[in-house]
Chains A and B, each alone.
Chain A
C-alpha cells in the first residue's frame, strides 16, 4: 500500500502537515481551556439573573458550524474587516483564532456541567472549613477533574477534525497553512487517494491515541 509507505517513510510533507495540525489545534485548545474552564466553573457555581439564558447561548455556540464561524472570522480579519490591520488572514494565527472561538464554548459548556455536578455538600464543607471563593473554585476544579479533562479532549477532538474554519481563514496554502483535514479534502479532489488515505490514517491514529489517553488518565484516579 502506497499510503502506508508514505507514513512509514516519514514523507516530509505528511510530517509538516501533521505538525501544523497539532500546533494549531493544540494551541487553540490550551487557550480555550485557560479561558473556558475558570469561566465555566464560575458560571456553574454561582446563581445569577439570566444564567439559564447564558447557558442556552453557550450550548448553541457549542454546536456552531465551523464554516459559519470561519466566515465570521474571515470577515473580521480580511483587509477590509475591523481587524484587518493585523494582517493575519491566511496565517496559522488566524486558524488558531478561529479554532479558539470554536472550542471555547465547548470547553466552557462542559465545564459548567462539570462544576454543577459537584455535590453541594462538598462546597458547603469547604466553606465551613474556611475556604474563600477562590479556594472553593480550586477545590471544585479538583473534584471535577475527570470531567474537565474530558471537556478539553472533546475540544481537541473537535478542533483537529474540523475543516471548514481552517479552510476559510487559513486558505490551505501548501507548506504554510495546510493541515490534515484541508489536505485530505484537497488530495481527494485531486484524485491523490494514497496521500489522502495516509493523512486520514494519521488523523484517525491521533483520535485513537487521545481517547486512549483519556481512559488511561481517568482510570488512574482509582
Chain B
C-alpha cells in the first residue's frame, strides 16, 4: 500500500480548476519530484495534501485512510510542508525550531537535543539565540527546513526549497534533503522547476501543466522518453516557467 494516494483531486477557484483530476501514488520512503511551469498547480497540490486546502472533488488517502475522514489532527501532524517563502517566526532561532515540538508536548531535553542536531546538520550551530528575523535569506530557508526536519514527519512536502537560494545554500539544502530521505527514510515530495535537481534527487518525477498531472515516471525515463509532447516541450525548455 502506498503511503500517499491522491485520487482524482480537483480544486476550483471560482469556475477555474487549478487542480484538475490529479492522481498520483507515493510509496513509503520514496522521494518524488513534481515539475511544471509556474502556475501549473504544484503548490496547490502540496497544500491539498497538507490539508491546508480542501479538494472540491476526489480524495487523498494517507496510509490508506481518507485524510478528511476523522483523525485529521493526527494525519496533519504526520506531515509537514516547507513553503517556498521561508518566514521565520519573530522569536529566536531556537524557539523557531522548537515550535512544532512544543506543540507536540515533547520534553525540554528532547527538544534541546533535536534543535542542536538540526542546527549542526544545517551548518547553523551557535545561532540558537539569534533573532530569527535577522537571518539571511539562505539561513532563513535552512531554518525553515530545520523546523520541519525535527518533527521527523512521515511525509515531507518541499515547495521549491532552493528556488531563492545561491548555489552554496542550494548545495547545503540538497545535501540535507538527500540525507533526510536516506537516513530517516522520510517520504519526500519535492516541488521544483529545476529538472537537474529532480534528476539528482528524485526516483520518479511528475510533470504538471495547467492544473493537470500530465505524466509521472522514473525521473530518467521522463527526461529520455516522455510520453506526452507537452512534457517533451517542457524538457526542451520551450515552456517557460
Interface residues of A (CB under 8 A from B): 119, 121-122, 124-132, 135, 139, 142-143, 145, 221-222
Contacts and interface: CB of A to CB of B under 8 A. Distances in A.
A129 B90 contact: no
Interface string B77-110: 1001101010101110000000110011000000
- Chain B interface, DSSP helix/strand/loop, else mixed: mixed
Given A135-B103, A222-B131, A128 B89 contact: no
Given A121-B83, A124-B83, A222-B134, A130 B104 contact: yes
Contact of A130 (B52, B77, B131, B133): B77
A215 B103 CA distance: 33
Q: Find the residue from B76, B81, B87, B134 having the highest chain A CB count within 10 A.
A: B87
Interface of B: 47, 50, 52, 73, 76-77, 80-81, 83, 85, 87, 89-91, 99-100, 103-104, 131, 133-134, 144, 147-148, 151
Contacts of B77: 130
Contacts of B50: 128
B91 A142 contact: yes
Nearest to B104: A130
Contact of B90 (A126, A132, A143): A143
B148 A142 contact: no
Nearest to B46: A128
A130 B89 contact: no
A126 B99 contact: yes
B103 A131 contact: yes
- Determine chain A's interface SS by DSSP, over half rule: helix
Contacts of B52: 124, 127-128
Contact of B89 (A127, A142, A222): A142
A128 B81 contact: yes
A121 B87 contact: yes
B87 A129 contact: no
A139 to B, nearest CB: 7
Nearest to B79: A128
A130 B90 contact: no
Nearest to A222: B131
A75 B188 CA distance: 66
Pairs of residues from A and B, 5 with the lowest C-beta to C-beta distance, nearest first: A129-B100, A128-B81, A130-B103, A130-B77, A121-B87
Nearest to A145: B90
Nearest to B103: A130
14 contacts: A121-B85, A124-B83, A125-B144, A126-B89, A128-B80, A129-B148, A129-B151, A130-B76, A130-B100, A130-B151, A142-B89, A143-B89, A145-B90, A222-B133
A41 B115 CA distance: 30
Contacts of B85: 121
A130 B99 CA distance: 9
A132 to B, nearest CB: 8
A129 B91 contact: no
Most buried by A among B85, B90, B134, B151: B90
A135 B104 CA distance: 11
B182 to A, nearest CB: 23
